[in-house]
C-alpha cells in the first residue's frame, strides 16, 4: 500500500510539472529517434550532379553581337554560327511573365544568335560511371526549357550523343524542338525531359545545343536550364 501511494504521488508530481512545462520528455522504450535531419542530409548527398557546365547561360563573355547578345563561357562554338546569351525581357525576348522557368532561369537565357544555323557544344567525361554503364545500370535524366517567339518557326533543341572511348557513337537522346503550335503561338519556353539508360560501351557524351532561324534577322530559338544527370538505375 505504501509503495502504491508513493507511486501515485510521483505520477501526480510528474503530471503537474508537465503541465507547467518543466518535466523532461522521455523516449518510449524501443522507439527510434527521429532520423529526418539525417535522411535529409543523405538525400542531399545523393542528389545527382548536373554534368552540363554553364547550363543557364549565366557565365557570359563581353558582347560582340549587333543585337546586344553575349558570348558563352565553357561552351565550344564555331565562329559565325554561335549560340549566344541574352537577358530576359530585352526587346521582344521572353520575360519572367512569359511561359518558362521564370526567375529560376537567372538573368540570361540561350538564344540562337544572328546566324541561320547555330550551335554550341561541350564534351563530358563519363568514366566515373564506367561500372554502372558496363552493367547497364546508369540511368540518365535530360531536361531543358526550349521555345521561341510568337508564331515564328525559329527553334532550339538539345542533343546528347553517347560515344565510346574511340569516339564511335553508341546512342543518342534529343529534346525539342518545341513548335509554335505547342507554344500555342505564345512567346516563351516549355520544359522538356527524357530519361533512359546510357548504352554499354559509352565513356563520354557530347551535349549540343542547336538553333535554327526561319524568320527575321536573329534566331529566336530559346533555351534555358539545361540539365544532364546520371544515377544508378
Task: Return the H-helix or E-strand segment holding 43.
Answer: helix 36-46
Sign (positive/negative) of CA torsion 140, 141, 145, 148?
positive
**Residue 174 pLDDT:** 99
Identify the domain containing residue 212 by its residue range: 50-232
Give the pLDDT confidence score for residue 179 in this predicted structure: 98
145, 101 in Cβ contact below 8 A?
yes
Name beta bridge partners: 219: 113
41 in any annotated domain: no
Sheet holding 117-125, edge to edge: 76-77, 117-125, 204-212, 155-163, 169-175
Query: Terminus-to-terminus CA distance in the chain, angstroms?
Result: 65
CA atoms in the 13 A half-sphere facing the CB of 7: 4
Structural domain includes residue 168: yes
Residue 47 pLDDT = 83
CA dist 41 and 47 (Å) reads: 10
Cα–Cα distance measured from residue 196 to residue 80, given in angstroms and rounded to the nearest whole number: 34
Please check whether residue 198 lies inside any domain of the structure: yes
Distance CA 54, CA 226 (A): 9
Residue 26: per-residue pLDDT: 43
pLDDT of residue 64: 67
pLDDT score at 27? 42
Q: Per the domain annotation, does 143 fall within a domain? A: yes
pLDDT at 46: 72
Max Cα–Cα distance, the chain, nearest Å = 98
**Judging by beta carbons within 10 Å of its beta carbon (0-12, 13-18, 19+), is residue 44 exposed, middle or buried?**
exposed
In a domain, 135, yes or no: yes
Residue 90 lies in a domain: yes
Whether the upstream peptide bond of residue 177 has omega within 30° of 0, thus cis, is yes
In a domain, 30, yes or no: no
> Which domain CATH number covers 132?
2.60.120.260
Is the residue at 12 inside a domain?
no
pLDDT of 49: 97
pTM of the model: 0.81
pLDDT score of 38:
57
Q: Decide: helix, strand or coil at residue 3.
A: helix
Number of domains in the chain: 1
Q: What does the alpha-carbon distance between residue 102 and residue 52 come to, in Å, rounded to a whole number?
A: 20
What pLDDT tens digit does each residue of the chain (233 aa) get?
444 454 555 455 445 545 544 444 444 444 444 444 554 444 456 789 999 999 999 999 987 666 678 999 999 999 889 999 999 999 889 999 999 999 999 999 999 988 999 999 999 999 999 999 999 999 999 999 999 999 999 999 999 999 999 999 999 999 999 999 999 999 999 999 999 999 999 999 999 999 999 998 899 999 999 999 999 99
Amino acid at each position: 500500500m505504501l509503495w502504491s501511494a508513493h507511486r501515485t504521488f510521483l505520477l501526480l508530481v510528474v503530471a503537474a510539472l508537465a503541465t507547467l512545462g518543466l518535466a523532461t520528455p522521455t523516449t518510449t522504450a524501443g522507439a527510434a529517434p527521429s532520423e529526418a535531419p539525417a535522411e535529409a542530409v543523405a538525400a542531399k548527398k545523393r542528389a545527382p550532379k548536373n554534368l552540363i557546365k554553364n547550363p543557364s547561360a549565366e557565365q557570359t563573355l563581353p558582347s560582340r553581337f549587333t543585337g546586344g547578345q553575349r558570348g558563352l563561357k565553357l561552351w565550344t562554338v564555331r565562329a559565325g554560327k554561335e549560340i549566344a546569351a541574352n537577358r530576359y525581357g530585352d526587346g521582344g525576348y521572353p520575360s519572367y511573365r512569359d511561359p518558362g522557368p521564370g526567375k529560376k532561369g537567372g538573368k540570361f537565357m540561350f538564344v540562337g544568335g544572328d546566324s541561320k544555323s547555330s550551335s554550341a557544344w561541350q564534351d563530358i567525361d563519363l568514366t566515373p560511371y564506367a561500372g554502372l554503364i558496363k552493367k547497364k545500370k546508369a540511368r540518365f535524366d535530360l531536361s531543358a526549357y526550349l521555345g521561341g517567339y510568337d508564331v515564328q518557326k525559329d527553334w532550339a533543341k538539345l542533343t546528347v550523343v553517347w560515344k565510346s572511348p574511340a569516339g564511335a557513337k553508341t546512342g543518342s537522346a534529343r529534346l525539342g524542338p518545341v513548335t509554335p503550335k505547342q507554344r500555342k503561338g505564345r512567346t516563351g519556353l516549355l520544359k522538356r525531359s527524357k530519361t533512359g539508360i546510357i548504352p554499354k560501351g559509352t565513356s563520354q557524351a557530347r551535349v549540343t545545343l542547336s538553333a535554327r532561324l526561319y524568320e527575321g534577322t536573329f534566331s529566336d530559338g530559346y533555351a534555358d536550364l539545361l540539365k544532364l544527370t546520371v544515377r544508378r538505375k
